């Protein structure tokens, strides 16, 4: 589920990059897009989030509070991971795997394996072929290589199995030239070598590998495939840009002609991929010919675009919590003050979520109130609140508390407590609260984020004398499957 989350949030960013790319491809340095793709790739592959008040999700959240009937899906994404298990990825992973393997997980895994296998097999098969390449005995290439030393070992070989020059290997790179290369055309050779050396120096083989990893993990997301195609193209475009910069702008048409020549040879051999690569090569040629010297304005624009897009589309809303570094232990909160933390989510949304668990839940009636007071319920604005741990245990649940430090600048010394309720091998990550310097900074019930600044309602967590209280209504709806409560 974590993956679906990451996929969805990265999709927004990818969409933004695709639009920016369409609008500004030939106007700003190509490296801009590589940086943007790298940000998107980080979002896809690393399960962490950075918060920013400029995040697009802040806007979404604002709209959501204003129009509570508007059920946007974006904030619904975050409850998923918190709601299913005690949300520490490390600790719950094994549990989730053994306890609730959902059909979605199975489907994802099958897709992932198929993708990974496909890329792996194709890669290995080609690699075995590349390995059989023969050395090149060419005076010009030897001299050129001597005058362009590299930190990593680079070999230049030739093969009769490929149609266009290529480079493979991350740490020990090999440049392969097709056998049909015109060895006497020194200018062409030089262009090709410069191009491949830029690839090597930039570790583009590694970038491509990471892109493949992104596609494998998010195989179900068409936008990630779009990103895969476009990012691969942008690697070439950016490389061309670097070559033209080394050669000087006057050489750009000559370089473009070399590329066209190579492409002609390639398409003669593999006619099937013609259509697709034609589009890409056209883009390359146009982009080379349109290349201008980078002015201050384009550089500033590039920096602004990267900073802006990253800030707006790659961050979470400020109120979200980061869930990295996990320090798990069993502990119980020890607060001194009573704080209420009401929910900002609409109650329709919440009951809709819970209905699946206990369809028979009924609201706490006036008549039942005295019974609750007898049970020792806490009176919060007239609504009965029950002690979380004791009540849950009475209802047949095992209660696990997981705490972790989630220090952040806004809430220093913050500890997050996750109450995980387990029954019949099923895990319900039901309540979570952050305690910052003895005060509740934020709390969560059944995945619904509660904001301390909001008005008190009956869907909040209350702390009193080391005990966590939750609304009786909530127990009835989410946990009381046997209708034990009045």
Cβ-based nearer residue to another protein, 95 or 179: 179
Minimum distance, C-beta of residue 178 to another protein, in the bound complex (Å): 11
Minimum distance, C-beta of residue 245 to another protein, in the bound complex (Å): 33
Report how far residue 112's alpha carbon sits from residue 118's, in angstroms, rounded to the nearest whole number.
10
Cβ-based nearer residue to another protein, 129 or 325: 129
Cβ-based nearer residue to another protein, 168 or 385: 168
- Please say whether the beta carbons of 85 and 429 come within 8 A: yes
Minimum distance, C-beta of residue 176 to another protein, in the bound complex (Å): 12
Phi-psi region at 365: left, alpha or beta (left = phi > 0; alpha = psi -120 to 50): beta
Q: In Å, how far are 234, 298, 430 from 41, measured between CA atoms?
A: 14, 24, 32
179 binds another protein (CB under 8 A): yes
171 binds another protein (CB under 8 A): no
Minimum distance, C-beta of residue 137 to another protein, in the bound complex (Å): 11
Minimum distance, C-beta of residue 431 to another protein, in the bound complex (Å): 58
Cβ-based nearer residue to another protein, 131 or 290: 131
Scan for tokens 């979002």, then name that residue: 43
**Residues 81-140 within binding reach of another protein (CB under 8 A):** 128, 131-135
159 binds another protein (CB under 8 A): yes
Applying CB under 8 A, among 2, 71, 76, 155 the residue interacting with another protein is 155
Q: How many residues bind another protein (CB under 8 A)?
A: 12
264 binds another protein (CB under 8 A): no
Cβ-based nearer residue to another protein, 2 or 155: 155
Cβ-based nearer residue to another protein, 135 or 359: 135
Cβ-based nearer residue to another protein, 172 or 484: 172
Annotate each residue in 129-148 with x if it binds another protein (CB under 8 A) or - if it does not, as one string.
Answer: --xxxxx-------------
Minimum distance, C-beta of residue 157 to another protein, in the bound complex (Å): 8
Which residues bind to another protein, rule: CB under 8 A? Answer: 128, 131-135, 155, 158-161, 179
């Amino acid at each position: 589920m974590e993956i679906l989350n990451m996929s969805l949030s990265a999709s927004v960013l990818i969409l933004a990059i695709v639009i920016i790319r369409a609008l500004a491809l030939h106007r700003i340095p190509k490296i801009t897009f590589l940086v943007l793709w790298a940000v998107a790739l980080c979002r896809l592959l690393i399960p962490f989030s950075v918060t920013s008040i400029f995040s697009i999700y802040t806007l979404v959240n604002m709209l959501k509070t204003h129009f509570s009937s508007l059920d946007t899906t974006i904030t619904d994404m975050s409850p998923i991971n918190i709601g299913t298990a005690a949300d520490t990825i490390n600790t719950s992973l094994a549990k989730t795997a053994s306890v609730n393997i959902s059909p979605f997980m199975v489907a994802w895994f099958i897709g992932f394996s198929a993708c990974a296998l496909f890329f792996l097999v194709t890669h290995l098969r080609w690699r075995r072929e590349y390995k059989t390449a023969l050395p090149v005995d060419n005076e010009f290439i030897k001299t050129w290589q001597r005058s362009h030393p590299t930190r990593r070992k680079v070999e230049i070989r030739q093969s009769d199995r490929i149609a266009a020059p290529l480079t493979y290997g991350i740490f020990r790179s090999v440049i392969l030239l097709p056998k049909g290369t015109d060895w006497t055309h020194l200018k062409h050779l030089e262009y090709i070598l410069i191009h491949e050396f830029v690839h090597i120096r930039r570790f583009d083989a590694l970038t491509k590998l990471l892109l493949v990893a992104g596609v494998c993990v998010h195989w179900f997301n068409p936008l990630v495939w779009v990103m895969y195609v476009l990012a691969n193209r942008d690697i070439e475009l950016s490389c061309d840009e670097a070559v033209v910069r080394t050669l000087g702008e006057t050489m750009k048409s000559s370089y473009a002609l070399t590329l066209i020549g190579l492409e002609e040879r390639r398409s003669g051999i593999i006619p099937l991929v013609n259509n697709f690569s034609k589009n890409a090569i056209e883009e390359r040629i146009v982009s080379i010919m349109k290349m201008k010297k980078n002015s201050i304005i384009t550089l500033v624009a590039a920096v602004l675009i990267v900073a802006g897009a990253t800030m707006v589309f790659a961050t979470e809303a400020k109120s979200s919590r980061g869930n990295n570094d996990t320090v798990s232990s069993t502990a119980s909160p020890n607060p001194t003050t009573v704080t209420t933390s009401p929910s900002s989510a609409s109650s329709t949304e919440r009951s809709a979520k819970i209905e699946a668990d206990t369809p028979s839940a009924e609201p706490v009636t006036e008549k039942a109130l005295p019974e609750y007071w007898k049970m020792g319920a806490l009176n919060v604005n007239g609504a009965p609140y029950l002690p979380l741990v004791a009540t849950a245990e009475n209802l047949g649940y095992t209660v696990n508390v997981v705490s972790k430090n989630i220090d952040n600048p806004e809430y220093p010394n913050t500890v997050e407590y996750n109450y995980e309720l387990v029954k019949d091998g099923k895990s319900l990550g039901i309540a979570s609260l952050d305690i910052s310097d003895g005060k509740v900074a934020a709390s969560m019930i059944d995945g619904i984020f509660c904001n301390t600044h909001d008005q008190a309602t009956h869907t909040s967590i209350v702390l009193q004398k080391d005990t966590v209280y939750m609304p009786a209504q909530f127990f009835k709806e989410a946990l009381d499957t046997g209708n034990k409560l009045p």
